[in-house]
C-alpha cells in the first residue's frame, strides 16, 4: 500500500479559511473598565456649540470626568482644542464614570419614575372604561371534540 497523504506539518489551512469580513468601526471607543465603576459618554458640545447645561446636570448627578492618565489608550483620539484638556473628550463627548452603587441607585430612581408615569397613564385611560362597552375585553376561545361512534 502506498501512502499518498501529506505530512501534517505540510498541510496548510490558510487556503480553506474564510476571507475576513469588513466591519463598521465603532464611533466611540470602549474604555478599559475599572472594577466598581460604570462608564458613560456625556455630551459637552452639539453642532460646535458648548452644552454647559448638560455637562452641569450630569456632574451634579454624580458623574466624574475620566482623566487621560486613567485611560492612556485615548491619547491619540483626544481633541487638542478641547476645553477638557486633562480629560478624555472624543467628538464632543466626555468620558465620565460613576461608582456602581450610585449608578444602580440612579437607574432605580428613573425606573420608578417611568413606572409611576405608565401607571398614571393607564389609570387615566381605564377611568373611561364602561362595562357596557369595555375598552379591553378578554377574548377566549375553546375547542371541543365530538364523540365518535
Q: Could you read off the pLDDT of 95-109 as tens digits, one per residue?
A: 899 999 998 989 899
Mean pLDDT of the chain: 79
| Cβ neighbours, 10 Å, residue 107 | 11
Among candidate residues 95, 104, 84, the one with its CA nearest the CA of residue 40: 95
pLDDT at 135: 63
Q: Kindly state the average pLDDT of the residues 1-23.
A: 68
Residue 23: helix, strand or coil by DSSP?
coil
pTM (2 decimals)? 0.60
Contacts of 65 (CB under 8 A, 6+ apart): 59, 84, 87, 88, 94, 95, 96
Among candidate residues 28, 39, 47, 91, the one with its CA nearest the CA of residue 65: 39
**% of the chain with per-residue pLDDT over 90:** 9
Q: Which residues pair with 94 in a beta bridge?
A: 42, 89
* Biggest alpha carbon–alpha carbon distance for the chain: 91
Amino acid at each position: 500500500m502506498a501512502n499518498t497523504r501529506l505530512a501534517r506539518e505540510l498541510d496548510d489551512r490558510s487556503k480553506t479559511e474564510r476571507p475576513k469580513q469588513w466591519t463598521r468601526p465603532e464611533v466611540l471607543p470602549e474604555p478599559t473598565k475599572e472594577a466598581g465603576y460604570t462608564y458613560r459618554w456625556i455630551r459637552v458640545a452639539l453642532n460646535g456649540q458648548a452644552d454647559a447645561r448638560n455637562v452641569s446636570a450630569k456632574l451634579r448627578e454624580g458623574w466624574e470626568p475620566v482623566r487621560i492618565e486613567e485611560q492612556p489608550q485615548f491619547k491619540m483620539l483626544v481633541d487638542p482644542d478641547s476645553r477638557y484638556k486633562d480629560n478624555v473628550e472624543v467628538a464632543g463627548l466626555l468620558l465620565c464614570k460613576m461608582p456602581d452603587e450610585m449608578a444602580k441607585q440612579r437607574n432605580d430612581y428613573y425606573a420608578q419614575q417611568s413606572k409611576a408615569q405608565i401607571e398614571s397613564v393607564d389609570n387615566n385611560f381605564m377611568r373611561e372604561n364602561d362595562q357596557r362597552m369595555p375598552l379591553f375585553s378578554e377574548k377566549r376561545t375553546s375547542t371541543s371534540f365530538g364523540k365518535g361512534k
